[in-house]
Structure formats: structure tokens, C-alpha cells
Amino acid sequence: MPKVVDPAERRRELVEAVLRVMRRDGLEQASVRNVAREAGLSMGSLRHYFASQSELMVFAFRTVIDRIESRLAALEPEPDPTRRAQRLLAELLPLDDERRAENEVWLAFNSRAMVDPALRALRDEGYDALRAGCQAMVTDLSAAGLAPTDVRTEAERLHALLDGLAVHAAMRPDIHTAESLTAAIARHLDALAIERSARDAAEGEDPA
Amino acid sequence: MPKVVDPAERRRELVEAVLRVMRRDGLEQASVRNVAREAGLSMGSLRHYFASQSELMVFAFRTVIDRIESRLAALEPEPDPTRRAQRLLAELLPLDDERRAENEVWLAFNSRAMVDPALRALRDEGYDALRAGCQAMVTDLSAAGLAPTDVRTEAERLHALLDGLAVHAAMRPDIHTAESLTAAIARHLDALAIERSARDAAEGEDPA
DNA sequence: GCTACCCTAACACAACTGTGCTATAAAAGT
DNA sequence: ACTTTTATAGCACAGTTGTGTTAGGGTAGC
């Protein structure tokens, strides 16, 4: 009976099982037994694809990261920096069920990474990528005169706002609807532009 | 030998043991055995003070919440809304080792509350309190002409920024120093004031 | 004195964990 | 046709978990 499915496909199925269990019962319930049962396999089979639980978790986390990154990369090019930022941020916020699920497992992985060294490297990778993305967005906006020139501080602020909204959406999905999340982000982008104009005007006055 | 210390004191010691274990080894290591060993007691003794692990965790979480709230309440009154907001936010951010520790256990409790119903109520309580605090700050700033009039959106933005910064500080304490955190918050308060001025000016022009 | 009570300790139990090992059947390679 | 590799299943083992129960030692009230 073996060899009926592609090994890579099996691994993907197992990752899906991990994510399902994590969402339904919490990260600590994602034991090798529970995951194997969820996937309809014996735990001996699971161990054939992943030698250890840590390996399974790392692969699952990596899969989630790759999925998010490829989704961002697949976005059609958008020359206008504001609209580009809006689309990127909309892709990162948990606005629909699929991304809500993704957000939950992302947060679970992140919290385990606080203690598990094997996951820490992946968490840092995701963190750095998001940080770089925020920095790129602010840089483009700033170049277009739509954000203050202090890119570093503004990128940190945007990044923290984004992650904070994601955490809040996971904690209270009833309060933080897709509308309120997008409104908060839109307001922030708007505020960045206003701030830039005001600072430019102040600079034009002061030294003159 | 029993009865040498106040039972309430014992409970406090046990909570401290919980927090130490949680910070050192992670939340999932805070088993009744590990906590009892950390406190230098047998697990039979621990169970005399807390009938179940859930009870212990709830009490520990409650203690952390109370500690933060009483520290905020102990702040001397500050009439200037900007300075008051700065002080409140400085008290909530993990700027020193003590509050870094507090922040870590806070996040750990929050992540477990995603799955543990007993902790969820406490998490929601903490969330609501912080949300109300942000709303109060923005309301005062807005009344003083130092923040936009859309209190609801701005409170959500401030709240998310605050929690996002706390998460980032826990993840990357090397990157997010006390200086960068306070700078981000200061910039945000500054931006709120600028935004208000600009919107007021725009409104004065438009309908005229 | 003594009785009642609080605290502490220690053990038992069932459930769960990750991991190693073995057996077997199907496929692939020759 | 035969051998080797791959995939699956199942079990054993040692460790940890939460919780219950039992017993004993120390203090306080009478």
C-alpha cells in the first residue's frame, strides 16, 4: 500500500494536520500522537517523515512563513506607494477566515519560539522580513512625500501597529472586525502623510 | 513546624515561584511539581494552597494584573494630558528589567488564554482595562486639542501600538531598547497633536 | 493534659509525552 | 524473479503530567 502518494504531499498533509490541531486545541496539544491521528496515520508513519517533533514543528512553521511570503510576492505590481502599502498590509492583516487561521498559528509559533530555540531562528526570520517590509513601505512613502523622513522610527511604529492589530484581532475577533482593522491602518497611512506635510511646512517657516 | 508563615504570604511566594519558572523555562514548564520544587515545597503542600493547577495559574495571573493596576494607580496626578499619557505609557512599556519580566509573563498568560477558558476571562479583563485607559488618554488629549477627534480609531491605534511594542520588546530586547520604545511612543503622541492641528486647519478652510 | 486543626510530606494512579525498535507489505531497481 | 528501498503500523520504554489519598508532625484553643 505504500508509495501511493508523493512524500512531499504527505508532508504537506501532516503540516495541515499540525495547523488544524493547533488552532482547534492549542499549540501544546500538537503532540506527535495527536497530529498523526488528525492526519489519519500511525505515529510510526509520522516519524518516518519527521524524525522528531521539533523537526515537524520547524517544518510547519517554515511552511507558514513560505506561504505568506509567496502570497505577498504574487501581488501584482502597484506603482502608487500608498495603494501598494494598503494592499500589502491588507494581505498581512487577518481580514478573512483563512488569514485569521494563519494569524493564530503564527502567534502560537511565535509564543513557543520564546522558549524553543529551534523555532527562534524562524521567528526572527519572519520578524526581520516584516520589519524590512515596513521599512520599505515607509521609505517609498517618504520618497513620495507621503511620510516623515525619519524612516527608522516610522517603520518601527508601523511594524508595532501591524503586529499589535494582529494580536488584538486574534484575542477579540468580535471587536476587531475586518473593517475596524483596515480603518486603523488607513488612518495610520493618512496620518503619516499629514505628519509629513506639517513637518515640511514647519521646516519651511523656521529657518526662513 | 507548620504555621510559621502567613498563608497569604505563602501564596505570594508560590506566585513568585510560578513567575520565575515561567520566565526561565517557559509557561509549559510551570507544572505543579516544578513550581513546588522552585518554591522549596512538596507538591502536597502546594495543593493545600491551590486545589488545582488552574487555580494556581488564575491566581498568578490575577496577581500580575493587580500589581500593574496598583502601580498605575500609585502614579502622582499629572494635569497635563501629554505628560500624563507619557508617564502612563512609560509605566506600561517594558523599560526596565522588572517590567521586562512582567511583560514576558503577561504575554505568556495571554497566549495560554487563547486556549485555556479559565484564563480567558482574566485576559479579557486586562485587555478591556488597557483599552479603556487608551481611550481615556486619547479623550483627554483630544479635549486639549492634542489629538484628533475620532477618539475610537485613535484609541485602537494607540492600544495596538502599545501592545505591538511590548511584543516586539519581548521578542527582540536587543533591538528594542528603552530608548527606542520611548521614542516610538513620543513620536506617536507628537503625531497625534500634529494630525489634530492639520485636520482643524483643513476644516477651517474647507467650508469657508 | 488533650482535642481539633492546619500544614506538610509522600505515595498511588491513570493519562500522556517523545522516541526507539520491530515487523510487514508494497513498490522500485536489477 | 529477486533484492533493496520505502512506507506504514504497532508496541515498549522511560519520563512527566495533574490529581487524589493517606499519614504524620506541629500549633492553637480549651
The pLDDT of residue A193: 97
Which chain A positions have a beta carbon within 8 Å of B165's beta carbon? 160, 164
How buried is residue A2: exposed, middle or buried, by Cβ count under 10 Å (0-12/13-18/19+)? exposed
The pLDDT of residue A2: 46
Write out pLDDT tens, residues B168-192.
999 999 999 999 999 999 999 999 9
Write out pLDDT tens, residues A126-147.
999 999 999 999 999 999 999 9
Would the Cβ of A51 be found within 7 angstroms of any atom in strand D?
A: no
Write out pLDDT tens, residues B37-61.
999 988 989 999 999 999 999 999 9
Write out pLDDT tens, residues A1-15.
444 566 777 899 999
Between CA A108 and CA A164, with CA A30 as vertex, the angle to 5 degrees is 5
**Which residue, B157, B155, B96, B194, is CA-closest to A157?**
B157
**What percentage of chain B exceeds 90 in pLDDT?**
82
The pLDDT of residue B205: 72
The pLDDT of residue A1: 44
Write out pLDDT tens, residues A177-192.
999 999 999 999 999 9
The pLDDT of residue B4: 55
Which chain A positions have a beta carbon within 8 Å of B150's beta carbon? 187
B164 contacts A163? CB cut-off 8 A = yes
Please say whether the beta carbons of A170 and A104 come within 8 A: yes
Write out pLDDT tens, residues A16-44.
999 999 999 989 999 999 999 999 999 99
Share the mean pLDDT of chain A: 93
CA of A5 to C1' of C26 (A): 12
pLDDT over 70 at B6, yes or no? no
The pLDDT of residue B1: 44
Please say whether the beta carbons of B170 and B103 come within 8 A: yes
Amino acid at the residue A10: R
Rounded CA-CA distance B54/B32 in Å is 10
CA of A51 to C1' of D9 (A): 16
Would the Cβ of B51 be found within 7 angstroms of any atom in strand D?
A: yes
Full DSSP string of B96-138: SHHHHHHHHHHHHHHHHHTT-HHHHHHHHHHHHHHHHHHHHHH
Rounded CA-CA distance A169/B96 in Å is 28
Would the Cβ of B47 be found within 7 angstroms of any atom in strand D?
A: yes
pLDDT over 50 at A62, yes or no? yes
Share the mean pLDDT of chain B: 92
Full DSSP string of B173-193: TTTS-HHHHHHHHHHHHHHHH
Handedness of CA B204, A191, B173, A112 (dihedral sign): positive
The pLDDT of residue B2: 43
Give the pLDDT band (50/70/90) at residue B97: very high
Q: Which domains does chain B have, with CATH numbers?
A: 1-51 (1.10.10.60), 55-205 (1.10.357.10)
A188 touches B at CB < 8 Å: yes
B201 touches A at CB < 8 Å: no
Full DSSP string of A77-90: P--SHHHHHHHHHH
Rounded CA-CA distance B165/B34 in Å is 31
> From the CA of B87, how many Å to the nearest CA of chain A?
19
The pLDDT of residue A6: 67
CA of A35 to C1' of C16 (A): 14
Write out pLDDT tens, residues A83-139.
999 999 999 999 999 999 999 999 999 999 998 999 999 999 999 999 999 999 999
Amino acid at the residue A64: V
D17 C1' closest Cα residue: B31
pLDDT over 90 at B206, yes or no? no
What is the count of residue pairs from A and B with beta carbons less than 8 Å apart? Answer: 120
